[in-house]
Amino acid sequence: MVSLSKGHYTARFADGPHDIRRAQALRWLCFYGNRGLDSDADPAAEPDAETGQKLDQDRFDAICTHVLVEDQRDGELVCCFRFLSLSGGHDIGRTYSAQYYNLKRLEGFKGPMVEMGRFCIHPDRQDPNILRLAWAALTRLVDETQVRLLIGCSSFMGAEPATHAAALAMLRDRHLAPKRWLPRVKAPKVFRFARMLRRDLSDPRRGMREMPPLLRSYLLMGGWVSDHAVVDDRLNTMHVFTAVEIGAIPQGRVRVLRAVAG
């Protein structure tokens, strides 16, 4: 993927350890610092030797490719994510998601896959062009590598299920994974929303309005999710396994994505 630009922003691959540390610093700000979490919430965080900033880092950083979105006017990093390329379902056990979900059913998926993760946008930046450019970069990657399945974990801020009842009810009613691919429970603490939510909680308009922006984007592309959410009390979040079958994306949405990707 060559660099892409939209408005004031440019997306490119990280170029070496310095760029990865910048991404890790932005991740820590978004996932911990900006949310006012106690410093003990991330015991693995270490200050960067150069800047003194805390870093969000894990073992997957070394095997992933990192994408940076920067403001061309001042060079500030405003968005980042990473992706792990897989040759097929037989590699699914290598993913970040496989730590939390039993993905054995997806071992039979044929064709290249990409797991996207650690997506974040600087909390002080609200320009919609940032998200559009990030999706353009991912679209370019998918087209260039003939990816057939995009996977990841989509997070809700707040670990109390009642807070997300309308959104989870919408996922249950309209967006559950096909049974042949449905992830099974693996994590020690989950909320089985497909079983436990009352039927009278269905409110599609409210559900979509309260859906996390990244997950909303997945759903607009025909994405599907697990039937349970993993609860992370440490981060005060809950997340669902999410996948998009590239061949099933509506053609109108494909045209929009490719137009942005150039």
pLDDT of 180 reads 96
- The letter for the amino acid at 153 is C
* Dihedral sign of CA atoms 57, 154, 75, 262 in order: positive
CATH number of 235's domain: 3.40.630.30
- pLDDT attached to residue 198: 80
What pLDDT is attached to residue 34?
77
Give residue for tokens 């999706």: 135
Give 177's DSSP letter: P
pLDDT in tens, the chain (262 residues): 568 888 899 999 999 999 999 999 999 999 988 776 655 556 556 666 666 678 999 999 999 999 999 999 999 999 999 999 999 999 999 999 999 999 999 999 999 999 999 999 999 998 888 988 998 898 898 889 899 999 999 999 999 999 999 999 999 999 999 999 999 999 999 999 999 888 777 788 899 999 998 999 999 999 999 999 999 988 899 999 999 999 999 888 888 878 877 6
In which domain, by residue range, is 233 found?
4-261
Q: CB of 89 within 8 A of CB of 180? A: no
The whole-angstrom separation of Cα 218 and Cα 244 is: 7
Residue 2 has a pLDDT of 62
Q: What is the dihedral of CA 22, 23, 25, 28, to 10 degrees?
A: 180
Residue 60 makes CB contacts below 8 A (sequence gap 6+) with 82, 84, 96, 117
Closest by alpha carbon to 198, among 216, 172, 226, 218? 172
How does DSSP classify residue 25?
Answer: H
Predicted confidence at residue 33, as pLDDT, reads: 85
Could you give the number of structural domains in the chain? 1
Beta strands in the chain (DSSP E): 4-6, 9-13, 46-47, 54-55, 65-71, 77-86, 101-102, 113-121, 149-157, 184-185, 190-191, 224-225, 229-232, 237-245
What three-state secondary structure class fits 55? strand
Q: Which helix (H) or strand (E) holds 24?
A: helix 17-31
